[in-house]
Amino acid sequence: MGDVFTLITERILRECNGELVCAHVGDIQACTVKKHPTYQALRGAVQLGRSTSVASLRLWESVGTLARDGSRQEREKWLMILLDLLTPHFGAWSRELAQQWHYEVSDIRSAMMEGALAAWFSRAGGAPPKELLNTMKKRAFASARDLVQSGSSETCAVSAEYLISDAAHEEDSALRASSIIDASTVRDPDANERIRGERTGSLLQRMGAMGHAKILHEKIRSGYRSEMDAPAINPTQVGRSWVDGKNLYYRVSDLLPQYIGFREAASIVGLSESQASKMARKGSLPFRVFWIGNSRVVSVRSLMRILEIPDSIVHPDDVENGASHVGG
């Protein structure tokens, strides 16, 4: 069995399967950069050692944002990539330490990865990318030194896969706040759902955006949407999905652009571009940034969370009913 470094690399290569990857915003279709590399090429071009280029640091920041703000499955993937980008820098040092202290290199690498993960989860957000990178490297090296200086080569009997399966663990729960119904205010969840959808439709109709919504509805009804993009439905919504033969529900954010410019995002939270840039360097910016070349963009969904704008799950039928009421 390979060590944890090898297991992480193999897992990422298996998931990427030789396809092109976008480490800017995670979605090649939404990225303005025309050319994208395979993961193997990306990994070979990134340098996170003693001399870290501006391009490598920006890519590190974007990958870190994807590892924090994507869906649960995507967060796991990008966190694995974030860790894998460090392993070339860790590799030579771990071999040197193993030879010097007569330790198994696999044990040292497991300790390093455990230290890097501890640093990642202890800095839940807000740390400047360079500071986070340095913290993860320092914690990795400190964990390895603690291991070899402890005077025993005995290590945990759990295999290296333990670190991978736990790497993506966060404080998330399957129970979301939006799925908890306050019985004192909403007595009929089905009625609440229909009202929510109809209000969304009426608002879109008044804004003149219902045509855009109908394009999305047609895409969903025709089966062109990936099931991975469909929101999970609760037991009360299963009946409508059974009638339709598929899950037609979607989030309101699906009607919005995925990303907006850095300046626009700063303006939305009441900051000038220069103020937001200073806060980004200090790690106090309320939202995280993706780098696309020399340009910065921000996830619309992350802004919605920051501004506490609910990303409601609605059904196309309800949205169209609401729009038709307003339109007569």
What's the full length of the chain, in residues?
328
CA atoms within 13 A on the CB side of 181: 12
Which of helix, strand or coil describes residue 230? coil
Mean predicted confidence (pLDDT) in 110-127: 84
Strand order across the beta sheet in which 295-299 lies: 259-261, 295-299, 290-292
Average pLDDT in the chain: 81
Residue range 283-327, pLDDT digits in tens? 888 888 888 888 899 989 889 888 888 888 999 999 999 999 876
Which of helix, strand or coil describes residue 189? helix
For the chain, percent of residues with pLDDT exceeding 90: 22
How far CA 290 is from CA of 62, 194, 246, 298, 311, in Å, comes to 4, 36, 34, 6, 21
Residue range 193-234, pLDDT digits in tens? 888 889 899 989 988 889 999 999 999 988 888 777 788 777
- Looking at the DSSP bridge assignments, the partners of residue 260 are 298
Residue range 122-158, pLDDT digits in tens? 876 667 888 889 999 999 999 988 887 775 544 444 4
**All structural domains of the chain with their residue ranges:** 4-167, 189-328
Question: What's the pLDDT at 167?
Answer: 44
Question: What's the pLDDT at 214?
Answer: 93
Q: What is the pTM of this model?
A: 0.63
Select from 44, 117, 106, 111 the least CA-distant residue to 79.
Answer: 117
Within 10 A of 256 (CB to CB), how many other CB atoms are there? 16
Say if residue 224 is exposed, middle or buried (CB neighbours under 10 Å; 0-12, 13-18, 19+): exposed
- Find where tokens 């209000």 sit: 199
